[in-house]
Structures are given as C-alpha cells and as structure tokens.
Structure 1
C-alpha cells in the first residue's frame, strides 16, 4: 500500500504542476493578484507530495520490500543500512525522483523566501519552474515508474552496484543534483525576465543567492565524485575526462561565468543580455548531461545506460526547453538596455574576458564530449577523445583566465589607471617568476607547462592575498584598525578571497599529482619489496576477510623510509556474490606533501594465486591532498558570500511601488 501511496502522490504532484504552469502565468498577464499568488500554495503542495513519494520509496528500500521492482534490482537484505537508503537514488527511477524533489525544493524556496520579489515576476518564475516539473514528472510516471511491482516477489534482491556502495557515492548524487537542478530556478528567473521584458540590478540581486547555492552544491558534488574515483576505482587518478564527468563540469564552468556576470548586472547594470544567456545555457547543459547519461549513448562507471526510448523523451524535453528559451531570448534580448558604459581597461572588461574564456573552455569540453558520439551516429566509426585532447586544449585557455583572476580585483569599475595596477602587482610578478624557477631547480623534471602552471597558481595566491591586505590596509595602519576594517568588509568580499585562494591551492594539487606522479605496477609475493619516491614497501601477503555482503582479499603492506617504520597499508579486492562483481578498495597514506597509494589487482595467474603472487599498483602522488583542500575552500568561500547580509536581507524593492507590476510585455 505504501508504494501505491507514493505513486498516487506523484500523480497529484503532476496535477499541481500543471495548474502552477498555467494559472500564475495568466494571472501575471492579466494583473490578477489571486491567480499570481496561487503559485505559492501550488509550489508548496508539489514539495509535500513529491516528498511523500520520495519517503515512500526510501521506506521500501529500508524494509527491503521485494515486491517493488526497483528495490529488487538495486538492493539486498544483507546490504548495510546506509546503502539501503542510498539505493533510493542509486537507480535511474530513484535518481529521477530525487531530481523532481530538488526541482520542487527550489520552487518552494522561492515561494517561501522570495517575499521581496514582485508578484508578477515571482508568478512567472514559478510557472516556468512548473513547466520543467511537468516535463520530468510526466517522464517519471509514463516511462520510469519507481514503484512498479513484481509478483511473485523474489526471496532477495540483486544488490546495488558495488561501486556505488560507498559513503562518497551515497552523498555524491544529492549534492550533484542540487547543483544541476539548482540552476533550473535561475533559468526560470531568466525566462520570466524575458517574458516581463525587464532585467535590472534588483533582478540580478534576487538571482545571485540561488546561483550561489547551485554553484556550491555542484562544486561539492564534483569534488566528492573526484575523491571517490581516486580512492575507489583503484587506478590512482582523480579525473579522466570521462563523458559523465564532463557533463557535470560544463554547467560548473558556465555557472561560474554566470556568477560573475550577475555581479556586473547588479553593480553596473551592464551584461544584461549576457547574464540571461548564461542562465539559459547553464541549465541547458544540465539537461544535456541528463540526456547523455540516461539515453544509452554511453557506458560509464556512473552512467544510467537505459533504453534509448527514454532518451528520446528527454531529447524532446531538451529541444522544447532549449529551443523555446533561446527563441524567446532572440526575440526579447535585443530590446534590453545596454547598461553602464566602461572602458577597455576596467573591472567590467576584466570580467568580460573572464566570461569569454570560461565560455570558450566550456565549448572545448562540449566538442570533445559530443564529437565521438556524433561521429559514431553519422559514420559508425568509434573514436576516443581523452585526456591528451582536453589537456592540450582546455589548459591553455584556463591559464590566462587564472592570470586575469589575479588582476581583476585590482581594477576599478568604469575606468582604471593601468599604470597604478602594474605598480601594485609588479613585485608579485617577480615573486611568481622566482617561484617558477625555484620549482624547476628543485624538481628538474616534468613538462614546461607544469612549471608555468605552478608559477601562475602562485601568482593567483599572492595577488588574491595582496588585494585582501590592501582592502584592510594591513601594515599601513595599526593592527586594531586593520582588524576593524576586516570585520566591516562585506562577507562576499571575504568569500571571493577564499574561493580564489582555494582555486590556487587546488591548482598545486592538479599539477603536482599529474606532472610528478611516480607509479609502479609489479607482480609480488610475500617478502617482495618495492622502492618508490624514497619509500620501501614490503608485501607481507593476503588474507581473506568477510564483510556484510562481500568477501575480500586483504593485502598487508609494510611501509618504511630509510629503515624507519612509517605505516601499514591494507588494500582490498572485494567480491560481491549477489551482484557477481568485484571492486578495488585502495589503501592510502595521505600527507600534505603527497599520497602513497596502493591497490591490489587480480592475481598474476590462478597458479600464482596459490603461491601468494599478486599484481600490485603503488603510486606516489605529490600534493594531491591540495585538490580536496582547495575544493573545500572554494565551497566555504561560496558559503561566506551566501551569508552576506545584502543577500540574506534581499534586494531592495524596485522603484515602482505597485504590488502588481504585471503589465504585459509589448
């Protein structure tokens, strides 16, 4: 009965979404305040109904209700409780239910916390959000019912994909979806503004908090997924330019550009059309990623390779959403006022270059991701576009962007004295050069691009800290005065500093773990010793251990350095009888200087296994911890900006005091 309740709640949510998609929009066009405000109650109703459905599915997983097909295919009675809960969104159907739940959360969030948004704009925004909900709720009910029954029920389930039975992957999808779907509300604001025919500083202020929430969640989701790939998959890498990785990365790139563009619209009234276009394209890329992952076009360790007919449904939604919004943009955007003027040397110009580089980088990743799929569809030829292509095209675009990030905060709005900026930064440029030379002197190996990247990361770090010290006049005034100035700085300023420093620190990890990695893949027997990066790693053998729903071969590695004991590592090779699959559990000794990483592969041969011979992968990855540290700092920086009083209180009301700013667009 509980599954049927969940399915019925979904049907009612679809009905509520249909009403919300029409009535408030008509109310905004006719100036009917009652119809406009119906969006609030219907948004809350959607959230409650979809929440009931989601809880019903989760309950089915928790109690191992094997009359539900979704539970049979993605759970098992022996599975730990955490992964039973995570199984709720571990399938195509369950993850789509999570998708529509987050859609409803953002819609209800605007309805509840957007009290200072004009009724007409709020009504149109929530109506557009309901259009998206209608599309995905209908897709869920018509093609991907999460509550489908199976009779007679089996005695036990097939188990969740063992690769997904991990704490990192339990948290990864909700964070990633909060980012993906969070951009939907920014898209809805953009389409509503196009319908209304008005974009101004107040609109940009209303959009910024939601953009920040989505950007922070997407950053956390990508970082967590990268961390999971690093320690779980056993190959020692944190990014492989996998198509599924790329489709989450592209909205992040454009979302970053959107954040900066919205600042210019808010501060100077410029970049209006550019901000609207970025809002549309960012969510469009989220939808494109959904199509690629769920259409059966590709197979990945974390893709839902489902039947192509479902992909066609999403393709239709994609065409309507992107085609309709871009058509509306082409019609309405030319009529928007250009906003404040600025010279080629100004903060506006710097942010424009920033956005153009981010858009170009996104286009590069999009081309590399889609080209193999398009080529195979047209000619039948299969090619692989991997790290060599992306490293050769993406990195040269991003390095100038990082240089601009260091310069941008020193530029003034409208017009800047370039000579004064150079005087402030020339000493930092000298330090950057010296740091690059010092890195080369110490390491004497690796590609030239790696040394250049380290120098540019140091540039960003020093320039960002220098800009912050200038703001608080550190060492120019008494320390008490500097502390007072720091306390009085807007939190958004501290957030920008923290995020930029975080990117600089993450870059050290990107470069160090890629350019100066050491790796050994060897056949070992008990007593074998491997030398790597100054460590001596002794293989002591393998023992079999049993987990809740798996059996593991656990290796023991004793690590020493210059004869001194360092640590013991226990890599595992797990076998899941129900799922009939194997996974690798890496063992990692992590320090700021670098990670010593070990993973146990299959035995060298069946006879070798009897003799205790195994294949062992040992890596030393310098500075890889800086990737996670920098990512956390970027997320924390976004949180600081979000907590800024100007965003918490909200934007001032527009100059027009009328509560019904609902004149139809001409």
Structure 2
C-alpha cells in the first residue's frame, strides 16, 4: 500500500506543479499578491510531495520489496545497505526521481531564501521552475514510472550493476545533479526577466549565488565521477572524452563563463544580453546531457536508458524549453539596453576574453560530441571522435586562458593598467618557470613543451597568491596593517584566489601525469618482481575470497623501496553471482600526491597472470585542484554580499583617498 501512496504523491505533485505554473504568472501580470503567493506555498508543497514519493521508493529498496519492478531489476537481498540506498538512483527511473527531487528542492530554496526578490520576479521564476517540473514529472509518470508492480513478486532481485556497487556512486550522481539542475534556477531567472523586460545589476546580483552554488556542486560531481571511473573500471585513466563525460563538462564550461559574465553585469551593468543568453544556454546544455544519457543514442558505461520512446519525450522537452527560451530571447533582446562601456584593457575586458575562450571551447566539445551522431543519422557512416581531437583542440584553446587568468584580478574596472599588471606578475612568471624547470629535471626529463605546461599551472597558483599579496600591501606597509588589510578583504576575494589556484593545481596534475607516467603490462607468476616508479613490486600469489554477493580471486603484492617493504596491496577479479558479471578491482597505493596502480588481467595457461602497472606522479593534483575550486566557490558563496539585495552605489567622498589596491571580488 505504501508504494501506491508514493505513486499517488507523485501524481499530486504533478497537479501542484500545473497550478503553480499558471496562477503565479497571471498574478504577476495583474499584480495580484494573493495569486503570486501561490508560488511560495506551491513550491514548498511540490517539494514535500516529491520528497515523500522519493522516500517511498528508497524504502522499497532498503526493505528489498521485489514486488516493485524497479527494486527487482536493480537490487538484491545480499547487497550491502549503502548500495541499496545508492541503487535508488543507480538506474534510469530512480535517477529521474533524483533529478525531480533536486529540481523541486531548488524551487523550495528560491521560495524560502528569495524573500528579498521583487514579488513579480519571484512569482515568474517559481512558475518557470514549475514548467520544468511539469515536464519531468510527466516524463516519469508516462515513460519511467518507478512504482510499477510485479505479480507474482519474485523471490530475489537481479542485483545492481556491479560497476555501480561502489561508494563513489553514492556521491557522484547527487553532486552532479545538484549542478545540472541547479542551473535551472539561472534559466528560470533569465526567462522571468525576459518576461518582465527588466534586466539590470540587481538581477545579476540575485543570479550569482545560484550560479555559484550549481557550479560548485557540478565541479565536485565531475571530479568524483572522474575518480570513480579511475579506480573502479580498472583502466587506469581519469578522463577519456566519453560523450557522457562531455555531457557534464559542457555545462561546467558554460557555467564558468556565466559566473564571470554575471560579475561584469553586476559591477558595470555591461554584457546584459550575453549574460542572459549564457544563463539559457547553460541549462540547455544540461538538458542536452540528459537527452544524450537517456535517449539510447549513446553506448557508454554512464548511459542508463535505451528506449527510443523515452528519447523522443526528452527531445520534445528539449525543443520546447530551449526553443521557447531562445525565441523569447530573440524577441526581447533587441529591446534591452546594451549596458556600460569599458576599455579593452580592463577587468571587464579580461573577463570578456575569458568568456570567449570558454564558450568556444564548449562549442568545440559540443561539435566533437555530436558530429559522429549527426553523420551517422545523415549518411549511416559510423566514426568516432576521440581523445586526439579533443586534446589538441581543447588544449590549444585553453592554453591562452591559463595565462590570462592571473591578469584579471590585477586590472582595474573600466580602464586597467596592463603595464602595472605585468610589473606585478613578471616575478611570479619567472618563479613559475624556474620551478617548472626544476620539476622537469627531478622527473628525469620528458617532452620539452611540458615545461610550459608546468609553468602555466604554477603561474596560476602563484598569481592567485600574488593577488592577495598586493591587495594586502605585504612588503609595502607595516605587518599589522597588512594583516588587517588581508583579513578585511571580502570572502569572495579568497574564494576567487582558491578557485584560480585550484585550476593551477589541476593543470599541474594533468601535465605531470601525461608527461611522466609509466605503464608496464607483463605476465607475472608468484615470487616474481618488477619495477615501477622507483618501487619494486613482489607478486606473492593469488587467493580466493568471497563478499556478500560476489566471489573473487585476489592477487597480493608487496611494495619495496631500496629493499625495504613499505606497503602492500590487493588487486582482484570479481564475479557477481546474481548477474554473472565480472569486474576488476584495482590495487592503488598512494605515495604523497602520486599513486601506484595495479590491475589484474587474464590468467595464462602456465599459471601466471597478466598484470598492468602504472606509476602516476602527482595524479591526486587533478582531483585536489577540483576540490580547491569547489571550496573557493563555497567561500565566495559565504560572502554576505551574495546573500543580500541589489548593490547600492556609494556616494563619492569629497576628497577620496587613493586606495592601496582595487577592492577585491
């Protein structure tokens, strides 16, 4: 009975969303406060109903109610409790429920924390959110109902996909969806503003916190997904330019551009039209990612659905929302004021270049992802666009960005001093290059161009530090005064520095792994030894093992350095009994920021086994840098200026004192 109640709650959520999508819009047009108040009450009610429905589905998984088809297909009584929870969204139907839950959560958050918004804008924003909720609730009820019953109920389930039985899956999809769906708020703000015809600095101030929150979660989600694939799939790679990976990366690139564009709009009331367009495109790319994953047009370990009817439904949602929003934009954009002017050499100019590079890079990834699909549709020919294309084009586009980023905070608004910025950063550039050469020498060489990559990463890190250094006046004023200036900087200044430094750390990790990693594929028998990364790996032999729902053969390796045992690790080949599906569990040892990665292959006829061994220097910098970027986003989000209303221009003092540095952002 509880399952039917959960299903009924979802139907009630649809009815609530339908009311919410119509009444507040009419109220905003009539300036009827009672009708506009429906937006707040309805958003909270809709979230409560969806949360209850999602809780019922979770309960069915936890108690292994195999009369529910979704539970039977994606669970097993012997699955550990953690994977019963994560199994809720480890399938198409459950993941769409998670999508809808987060969508209604953001609507409720706007309803609760949007008290400072104009009543008409808030009503329109929540109505647009409701339009999206209606579409996805209908999609779930009509094509992806997770509450379907089986009669008679099977005695046992088919088990969760073994590659998804990992703690990473419990973290990765919720974080990713918080980013994906979080951009729906930016989309709703853009559509609501176009409906009202009012877009100004206040609008940018209201949009920025939601953009920053979505970007932060998406950064963590992409990083978690990359690390999960790295250690769970046993392939030793951290990014393969898989189309589904690209589907999450494109909104991140567009969201990064939107974040910087909104800053320019807030400070200078410039780039209004461009910022609104980015808000629409960012969520449109999120919707496109949903279509790619669930339409069946892609074959990937990440893809869920292969039912063409579901793909057609999502394609219709895509066309309605993207086409409708862009049509509204085309109608309203000519009536919008262009905004303030600024010199090419200024902080605004640097942020514009940042936007251009990010959007062109996003377009490149989009082209490489969709071109094979379009070609196959039109001609029937199948081709693949792989890492060589993406690495070359994306790398060349992003190279100028890492050089430009440290200059942005050093330039003043409206008109900057490029020579002054160069004077502040030339020491930083010299130190970065020197450190890169030393790093290159310690790692015993490699491609000479890697020095430039290492220097670029270090330049980003040191440039972020230099920004805070000069703002505080360290070395120019007394220590106590410098400390007061540093501690008095707004939190967004520290958040920006952390995010830029995090990007530098990630660049360092990418360059170091790409350049200096080593790989060995050998056949080993018990007692044999091989070398990797300055360590000796002694293969001690294989042992059988069992888990709650699998059997495995485990290989034990002792790691020695200079003849002394320093660690040991297990690498395994598992067989999940319910699905009869094998997986590889890599043995990974961490030494500082580097890792030794051991993966088992097939057994040989003479009693040996194929072993793949990678030495990956500084690979943890890749994900550590992403964590730094996300933490920078959280620090910026804690800045009170992002949680209040529109900025007010301060009256100019009669005798302005020359500040030591431009106020931080």
TM-score category of the 2 structures, normalised to the smaller one: over 0.9
Per mean C-alpha deviation after superposition, the further-off stretch among 285-294 and 409-418 is: 409-418
Aligned partners of 2:193 and 2:583: how far apart in 1? 49
Which runs of at least 4 in structure 1 moved beyond 6 Å after TM superposition?
none
**CA shift for structure 1 position 632:** 1.2
Aligned partners of 1:521 and 1:305: how far apart in 2? 35
Aligned partners of 2:286 and 2:649: how far apart in 1? 31
Aligned partners of 2:611 and 2:356: how far apart in 1? 45
Assess if the C-alpha contact under 8 Å between 1:461 and 1:501 holds in 2: yes
Q: Which residue of 1 aligns with 2:565?
A: 565
Per mean C-alpha deviation after superposition, the further-off stretch among 288-297 and 578-587 is: 578-587
Aligned partners of 1:598 and 1:650: how far apart in 2? 54
Assess if the C-alpha contact under 8 Å between 2:79 and 2:549 holds in 1: yes
Aligned partners of 2:241 and 2:250: how far apart in 1? 11
Q: Which residue of 1 aligns with 2:634?
A: 639
Q: Which residue of 2 aligns with 1:658?
A: none
Q: Which residue of 1 aligns with 2:203?
A: 203
**CA shift for structure 1 position 93:** 0.5
Q: Which residue of 1 aligns with 2:377?
A: 377
Q: Is 1:330–2:330 an aligned residue pair?
A: yes
**CA shift for structure 1 position 436:** 3.8
1:295-310 to 2 correspondences below 5 Å:
295-310=295-310
Q: Is 1:293–2:288 an aligned residue pair?
A: no
**CA shift for structure 1 position 654:** 12
Aligned partners of 2:110 and 2:248: how far apart in 1? 24
Aligned partners of 1:170 and 1:598: how far apart in 2? 24
**CA shift for structure 1 position 524:** 1.0
Aligned partners of 2:154 and 2:181: how far apart in 1? 35
**1:251-286 Cα shifts (integer Å, max 9, x gaps):** 000000000011111111111111101100000000
**CA shift for structure 1 position 445:** 3.9
Q: Which residue of 2 aligns with 1:424?
A: 424
Assess if the C-alpha contact under 8 Å between 1:116 and 1:653 holds in 2: no
Aligned partners of 2:443 and 2:649: how far apart in 1? 58
**CA shift for structure 1 position 398:** 0.7
Per mean C-alpha deviation after superposition, the further-off stretch among 310-319 and 444-453 is: 444-453
**CA shift for structure 1 position 359:** 0.1
Q: Which residue of 2 aligns with 1:3?
A: 3
Q: Which residue of 1 aligns with 2:612?
A: 617
What SS does the aligned partner of 1:514 have? helix
Assess if the C-alpha contact under 8 Å between 2:433 and 2:451 holds in 1: no
**CA shift for structure 1 position 447:** 3.2
Give the gaps of 5 or more residues in structure 2: 651-665
Aligned partners of 1:488 and 1:637: how far apart in 2? 17
What SS does the aligned partner of 2:433 have? helix
What SS does the aligned partner of 2:600 have? strand
What SS does the aligned partner of 2:298 have? coil
Aligned partners of 1:376 and 1:212: how far apart in 2? 37
1:226-241 to 2 correspondences below 5 Å:
226-241=226-241
Aligned partners of 2:190 and 2:518: how far apart in 1? 48
**CA shift for structure 1 position 465:** 0.8
Assess if the C-alpha contact under 8 Å between 2:368 and 2:385 holds in 1: yes
Q: Which residue of 1 aligns with 2:88?
A: 88
Assess if the C-alpha contact under 8 Å between 2:433 and 2:452 holds in 1: no
Aligned partners of 1:31 and 1:532: how far apart in 2? 71
Aligned partners of 2:440 and 2:61: how far apart in 1? 55
**CA shift for structure 1 position 648:** 2.9
Assess if the C-alpha contact under 8 Å between 1:518 and 1:619 holds in 2: yes
Per mean C-alpha deviation after superposition, the further-off stretch among 371-380 and 142-151 is: 371-380
**1:609-657 Cα shifts (integer Å, max 9, x gaps):** xx3x1111110001001112211111110000000011234445999xx
**CA shift for structure 1 position 535:** 1.3
Assess if the C-alpha contact under 8 Å between 2:603 and 2:610 holds in 1: yes
**CA shift for structure 1 position 440:** 4.0
**1:377-416 Cα shifts (integer Å, max 9, x gaps):** 1111111111111001001111101111011111110101
Q: Which residue of 2 aligns with 1:523?
A: 523
What SS does the aligned partner of 1:89 have? coil
Per mean C-alpha deviation after superposition, the further-off stretch among 620-629 and 433-442 is: 433-442
Aligned partners of 1:364 and 1:565: how far apart in 2? 48
Greater relative CO (CA pairs within 8 A, separation 6+) = 1
Q: Which residue of 1 aligns with 2:342?
A: 342
Aligned partners of 2:446 and 2:239: how far apart in 1? 19
Assess if the C-alpha contact under 8 Å between 1:162 and 1:576 holds in 2: yes
What SS does the aligned partner of 1:88 have? coil
Taking structure 1 as the reference length, the TM-score comes to 0.96
**CA shift for structure 1 position 292:** 0.5
Q: Which residue of 1 aligns with 2:663?
A: none
1:505-584 to 2 correspondences below 5 Å:
505-584=505-584
**CA shift for structure 1 position 482:** 2.0
Quick one: structure 1 residues 448 and 273, their matched pair in 2 at CA, closer, same or farther if it must change by over 3 Å? farther
Quick one: structure 1 residues 222 and 417, their matched pair in 2 at CA, closer, same or farther if it must change by over 3 Å? same
Aligned partners of 1:620 and 1:436: how far apart in 2? 20
Assess if the C-alpha contact under 8 Å between 2:116 and 2:644 holds in 1: no
Aligned partners of 1:51 and 1:449: how far apart in 2? 52
Per mean C-alpha deviation after superposition, the further-off stretch among 394-403 and 413-422 is: 413-422
Assess if the C-alpha contact under 8 Å between 2:27 and 2:33 holds in 1: yes
What SS does the aligned partner of 1:160 have? coil
**1:574-615 Cα shifts (integer Å, max 9, x gaps):** 1101021111111111123411111112213xx44xx3x111
Give the gaps of 5 or more residues in structure 1: 656-666
Q: Which residue of 2 aligns with 1:132?
A: 132
Coordinate RMSD, CA, aligned: 1.4
**CA shift for structure 1 position 450:** 2.4
**1:219-267 Cα shifts (integer Å, max 9, x gaps):** 0100001111111111111111111110000000000000001111111
Q: Which residue of 2 aligns with 1:242?
A: 242
Q: Is 1:590–2:585 an aligned residue pair?
A: no
**CA shift for structure 1 position 537:** 0.6
**CA shift for structure 1 position 40:** 0.5
Assess if the C-alpha contact under 8 Å between 1:72 and 1:157 holds in 2: yes
**1:283-327 Cα shifts (integer Å, max 9, x gaps):** 000000000000001111111132111100000000011111011
1:55-74 to 2 correspondences below 5 Å:
55-74=55-74
Taking structure 2 as the reference length, the TM-score comes to 0.96
Aligned partners of 1:654 and 1:408: how far apart in 2? 23
Q: Which residue of 1 aligns with 2:52?
A: 52
Assess if the C-alpha contact under 8 Å between 1:591 and 1:625 holds in 2: no
Assess if the C-alpha contact under 8 Å between 2:202 and 2:645 holds in 1: no
Per mean C-alpha deviation after superposition, the further-off stretch among 413-422 and 193-202 is: 413-422
Q: Is 1:182–2:182 an aligned residue pair?
A: yes
Quick one: structure 1 residues 333 and 158, their matched pair in 2 at CA, closer, same or farther if it must change by over 3 Å? same
**CA shift for structure 1 position 212:** 1.0
**CA shift for structure 1 position 123:** 0.6
What SS does the aligned partner of 1:304 have? coil
1:126-525 to 2 correspondences below 5 Å:
126-443=126-443, 445-525=445-525
